[in-house]
Structure 1
Amino acid sequence: MQHPVEKFPDSATLAAELASRIGHLLADATTVRGRASLAVSGGSTPIPLFERLAHLDIPWEQVVITLVDERWVEPTSTDSNEHLVRTHLLRDRAARATFIGLKNQSLRARDGETGCEEHQNLVPRPFDVLVLGMGSDGHTASLFPGADTLAAATDMLSGRHCIAVTPVAAAHERMTLTLPTILDSHQIFLHITGQEKYRVLEKALAEGPAGEMPIRYILRQNLTPVTICWAP
């Protein structure tokens, strides 16, 4: 399935346009169903997007926000995606949203899988909007090439919402939404910036095993619409 690649002149323009689209999708969902859900990724790229979303005048009290993945660190840690979201998104008007994270009190990520499943059952699905990033190795969420649980995390018949991952090269144990849960969305946006990421995207769109660049699991499916948003 071919997914559109939309190019923006700069990252600020991209963030403004993407925030507007996400806001409309969430507002429409609250009108139609009385609630909406948004799943977001971490990293530095989405910070301008989060800050624009936080100001939008939509019924945030009817929106549930969750994470696509999380490092297994305390939410007070600057390495935590929950910390990032609480700092940049759950503020201003968006402070009225409900947040359901992935990190729980278990010491190891694999011991936290059951609790994570229980919490994810509280998030309305399909997600109305899910925002992904992409690493220079072609990973997305915490679907890392070479990870020991990558096959389980991308099993479309597993029935699982989240699974623990220990990346080969990245720091910290992780918890990630599984591929079937990621794809249980009305709309996915892949949000990337910079020339290096564009080169990675071009490679991901070419031939090769999906496991070598797990973003290919998203790009090669036809269940869920994906819009790729890129700026230099």
Structure 2
Amino acid sequence: MAISDLQLPEGVQTHQLADSSVLASTLANDVAQRLRSAIEHKGHACVVLSGGRSPVPFLEQLAQQPLDWSKVTVSLADERWVPVEHEDSNAGLLARHLLQGAAAQATFFGLYQPAADLERAAQLTDAALAELPPIDVLVLGMGDDGHTASLFPGSPHLSEGLDPHSPRRCLPMLAPSVPHQRLSMTRALLASAAFTALSVQGPGKLAALRAALATDAQRMPIHAFLHDPLDIYWCP
């Protein structure tokens, strides 16, 4: 089965790459090209990225792209509610694998906020995100359960997180099977991106995409994004 075998909605473009290395380099090149275009047209660019282990090769490739990083704001689609020093912090991941060398000149806009509880942290992050520049490029991932960012099936705030008209930019989210509480950008904010890429690898993720197309966003939240303009980058 190939990505081209899926019956995808109009507006969804697919890129089938040979392997994970080619996917990382192709996506990094395409993202950098769009950031350069944004800088050329308006003097600044904003990219929102996803954490986890899978994006590491892409992040390292992106860091090597010729780009005026001093004119780029980098943020995250979601974050575990842990300080940046914690080994599971997505901000820490970006610090290690992207914001090095020339890319260290970028402005980083983190989601983590110290607070008495997760709800208060999400409120602080929500207010802070009012200052985030318009998103030029968004790079999403997807779990086998169909979650994207930290919009998890079964999370108490999922309906609000998926509401395209929600006034919230950030919500507290819970991942059912992992220990850390999460902060996630809402679909309302994520869908404002000028260009959205979804990076997925392997037959398992392809099967998850097929399942997501056949169900609804409550069961597999990525379903909501498959009906927006989207470029899917996939390799076997």
TM-score normalised by length of structure 2: 0.93
Q: 1:56·1:93 contact (CA, 8 Å) conserved in 2?
A: no
Question: Which residue is equivalent to 2:136?
Answer: 128
Q: Identify the match of residue 231 of structure 1 among 214, 230, 235.
A: 235
Inter-partner Cα distance in structure 2 for 1:203 and 1:38: 29
State yes or no: 1:66 paired with 2:75.
yes
Q: Helix, strand or coil for the counterpart of 1:176?
A: strand
**Cα RMSD, aligned residues only:** 1.1
Instruction: Give the whole-Å Cα distance in 2 for the aligned partners of 1:16 and 1:161.
Output: 30
- The residue type equivalent to 1:19 in the other structure is A
Number of the residue aligned with 1:187: 195
Return the letter of the residue paired with 1:146: G
Q: Render the CA deviation track for 1:14-51: whole Å, top value 9, x for unaligned.
A: 11111111111001101111111000001111101110
Runs of 4+ off more than 6 Å: none
**3-state secondary structure, aligned to 1:146:** coil
* Mapped partners of 2:155, 2:102: distance in 1: 38
2:3 match = none
1: distance between equivalents of 2:158 and 2:217? Answer: 11
1:212 aligns with 2:219: yes
SS at the partner of 1:102? coil
Q: Percent identity?
A: 36
Count, aligned residues: 227
- Secondary structure of 1:64's aligned partner: strand
Q: Which amino acid aligns with 2:234?
A: W
> Alignment partner of 1:52: what SS?
helix
8 Å contact kept, 2:173–2:184: yes
* Cα deviation, residue 119, structure 1: 2.2
* 1:176 maps to which of 157, 181, 184: 184
The aligned amino acid for 1:155 is D
1:10 matched to which residue of 2? 19
Displacement of 1:166: 1.6
Give the corresponding residue for 1:90.
99
Unaligned runs of 5+ in 2: 1-8
User: 3-state SS of the aligned residue for 1:124?
Assistant: coil
Secondary structure, counterpart of 2:165 in structure 1: coil
Alignment-mate amino acid for residue 174 of structure 2 = T
Question: Is the 8 Å Cα contact of residues 154 and 176 (structure 2) preserved in structure 1?
Answer: yes
Partner of 1:154: 162
The answer to whether the Cα contact below 8 Å between 1:71 and 1:80 also exists between their aligned partners in 2 is yes
Are positions 1:137 and 2:145 aligned together? yes
Q: Deviation of residue 108 (structure 1)?
A: 2.2
CA distance in 2, matches of 1:56, 1:123: 23
The aligned residue for residue 26 of structure 1 is 35
Contact in 2 for aligned 1:165/1:174 (Cα 8 Å)? yes
CA contact (8 A) 2:123 2:171 kept: no
Residue number in structure 1 paired with 2:172:
164
Structure 1 unaligned spans of 5+: none
Q: What secondary structure, in the 3-state scheme, does the structure 1 residue paired with 2:183 have?
A: strand
